[in-house]
């Protein structure tokens, strides 16, 4: 899929900004994901995820994001099917072979030392010093303190959490992972699912970050040697 085709899947044109790309992605993935009543086939959801991944690759490239997407070399965003053997995908996951199905992320063990080191790199993105598998598992663990996980796609990779905060409308938090050479980025997008506006994404990520850091503190406390009196 070329960047131009990816924009078309999201219903956008070549002059679209990155914010417009993200908004369109959130809209399309909620419209087409399999848990939504009356949604289209799973194939459309997969295509939307693939399109967003192509544009993320373009944004992370040396060329960067810009309006002239059709001039971006199509070979650099080649989305050919994975080979039949198991291998590490671009986003860091171990892709299944031809006779395997993707394993449940809940089967990934939680490291006793807690979540991997991470930092907040902007208002809506957390960068983890760990592979995508480990990052995904800890993000899911922390997400249970935010609300109910309503959608999970390990192949995306992404998941959605329905959050409820005091005096705020029900809020959907969409978390999308992107593998990097030195770790994994978790990009968050929050949006009210009610008529009134919800909290900004940065505020929701503040809460998410605090839960992850609490999990880290709790894990460190449990790993400390206990004295004779416990």
**Residue 38: which CATH number?**
1.10.287.110
Positions of the chain with pLDDT lower than 70, given as ranges: 30, 32-42, 59-109, 111, 155-156, 223-230
The predicted pLDDT at position 52 comes to 78
What's the number of domains the chain is made of?
A: 2
Range of the domain at 13: 3-76
Rounded to two decimals, what is the model's pTM?
A: 0.57
Angstrom distance (rounded) from CA 79 to CA 47: 11
Please return the burial class of 17, using the count of CB atoms within 10 Å of its CB with bins 0-12, 13-18 and 19+. Answer: exposed
Instruction: Specify whether 219 is located in the same domain as 119.
Output: yes
The predicted pLDDT at position 133 comes to 86
Please return the burial class of 27, using the count of CB atoms within 10 Å of its CB with bins 0-12, 13-18 and 19+. Answer: middle
Token pair 């880290």 is found at 216
Please report, for the domain that includes residue 139, its CATH number. Answer: 3.30.310
């Amino acid at each position: 899929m070329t960047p131009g085709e990816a924009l078309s899947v999201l219903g956008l044109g070549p002059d679209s900004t990155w914010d417009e790309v993200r908004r369109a992605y959130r809209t399309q993935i909620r419209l087409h994901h399999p848990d939504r009543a009356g949604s289209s086939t799973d194939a459309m959801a997969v295509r939307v995820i693939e399109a967003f991944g192509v544009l993320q690759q373009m944004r992370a490239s040396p060329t960067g994001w810009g309006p002239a997407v059709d001039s971006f070399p199509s070979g650099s965003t080649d989305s050919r099917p994975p080979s039949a053997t198991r291998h590490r995908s671009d986003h860091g996951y171990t892709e299944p072979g031809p006779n395997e199905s993707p394993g449940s992320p809940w089967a990934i063990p939680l490291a006793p030392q807690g979540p991997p080191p991470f930092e907040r790199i902007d208002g809506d993105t957390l960068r983890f010093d760990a592979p995508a598998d480990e990052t995904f598992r800890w993000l899911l663990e922390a997400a249970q303190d935010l609300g109910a996980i309503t959608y999970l796609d390990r192949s995306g990779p992404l998941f959605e959490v329905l959050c409820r905060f005091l005096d705020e409308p029900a809020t959907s938090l969409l978390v999308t992972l992107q593998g990097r050479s030195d770790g994994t980025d978790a990009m968050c997008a929050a949006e009210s699912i009610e008529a009134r506006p919800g909290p900004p994404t940065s505020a929701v990520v503040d809460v998410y970050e605090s839960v992850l850091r609490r999990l880290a503190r709790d894990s460190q406390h449990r790993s400390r040697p206990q004295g004779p009196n416990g």
